Chain A
């Protein structure tokens, strides 16, 4: 009996400490989006359990450049997820992403930076990763996402 009380109290305490994001949005949407098959995003199984890729949209700008937006949600909002993220120290979750651009022949196009960009994702939050193609020759892209171990706080 004593054990149960301790477990329940601990769970309630953790619930009280939960650092998740609650979002509100309009139900009637006016936007017109062109979706992309999400095989263009590469993540490992560890990360895909934490970050759900909701959708990928692209739009061609008037000058021929490609604008890509990847929408992802940190799904780690349940009590057990909260407990494990607290234990693993991955709340907020730290990721890094990088876009690679390909021409119509599938050849990699070098860009000025092409670097891993760090990003913080709070459980429950929806993030939008956005990039513009470096020139009009870019027809395809690959987005790589990885855990950003270096940004994780060990305090």
Chain B
């Protein structure tokens, strides 16, 4: 009898351990779909996509990128201030906009200068080779050839939270602006608003 109980206990324990070891189920999802997770307090990837899409549509429609001489505008990515409670990388937004502008054929982006330092330090580094004997000096990039930007893209993301009873709400306000660096005037601005709600269950958390 004791032997039977020990066997039963061993089987049950093994089953419990096996259940505990069950791997997390993971699947790939289409990043352009609406299948992603929706969390109230964070900016999810879909929110970035919506903000970027609306910003790009507005910027292209505004016509501020068109120049009378046909030359392409040179754009510098300045800073996007994070005024939310979360740690977020605002680069997702600016990268999507700069990619769309490049594909539009209306603007080029400089990586030699940026609000948080240059995206690519190479433009400066290669000019420092003018004292290096290892390099053929006629192939070293000359100073005074880099093109300065005409405009800068900046923005701010603001979050406001509210709750009432079991319902919690987050409101994200994306502000984007394009500044003409000649005059310092904002020649284009757009606001995108995203609001999300969550309701806690009666039991549990």
State whether A130 touches B57 (Cβ < 8 A).
Answer: yes
Cβ-neighbour of A96 out of B34, B38, B52, B99 (below 8 A): B34
List the A residue with the shortest CB-CB distance to B60.
A132
Stretch among B3-11, B103-111, B115-123, B131-139 lining the A interface: B103-111
State whether A131 touches B57 (Cβ < 8 A).
Answer: yes
Which residues on B sit within 8 Å (CB–CB) of A150? 34-35, 38
Which residues on A sit within 8 Å (CB–CB) of B182? none
List the A residue with the shortest CB-CB distance to B95.
A112
Stretch among A18-26, A71-79, A115-123 lining the B interface: A115-123
Which residues on B sit within 8 Å (CB–CB) of A132? 56-57, 60-61
Q: Is A143 an interface residue (CB 8 A)?
A: no
Q: Is B46 an interface residue (CB 8 A)?
A: yes
State whether A115 touches B53 (Cβ < 8 A).
Answer: yes
Question: Chain B at the A interface: mostly helix, strand, loop or mixed?
Answer: helix
Which residues on A sit within 8 Å (CB–CB) of B38? 150
State whether A117 touches B103 (Cβ < 8 A).
Answer: no
CA distance A110 to B38 in the complex (A): 26
Cβ-neighbour of B63 out of A63, A111, A116, A136 (below 8 A): A63
Cβ-neighbour of A114 out of B32, B46, B61, B65 (below 8 A): B32
> Count of chain A residues with Cβ under 8 Å from any Cβ of B?
27
Which residues on A sit within 8 Å (CB–CB) of B61? 61, 65, 67, 132
Q: Is A105 an interface residue (CB 8 A)?
A: no
Q: Is A139 an interface residue (CB 8 A)?
A: no
Q: Is B178 an interface residue (CB 8 A)?
A: no
Q: Is A58 an interface residue (CB 8 A)?
A: no
Q: Is B96 an interface residue (CB 8 A)?
A: yes
Q: Is B49 an interface residue (CB 8 A)?
A: yes
B residues apposed to A, CB below 8 Å: 32-35, 38, 46, 49-50, 52-54, 56-57, 60-61, 63, 65-66, 96-97, 99-100, 103-106, 199
Pick 13 A–B contacts, CB within 8 A, sort by A.
A65-B61, A96-B34, A110-B103, A112-B97, A112-B99, A115-B46, A116-B33, A117-B53, A117-B54, A118-B34, A131-B57, A132-B61, A148-B34
Give the 3 A-B CB pairs with smallest separation, nearest first: A112-B100, A115-B49, A113-B53
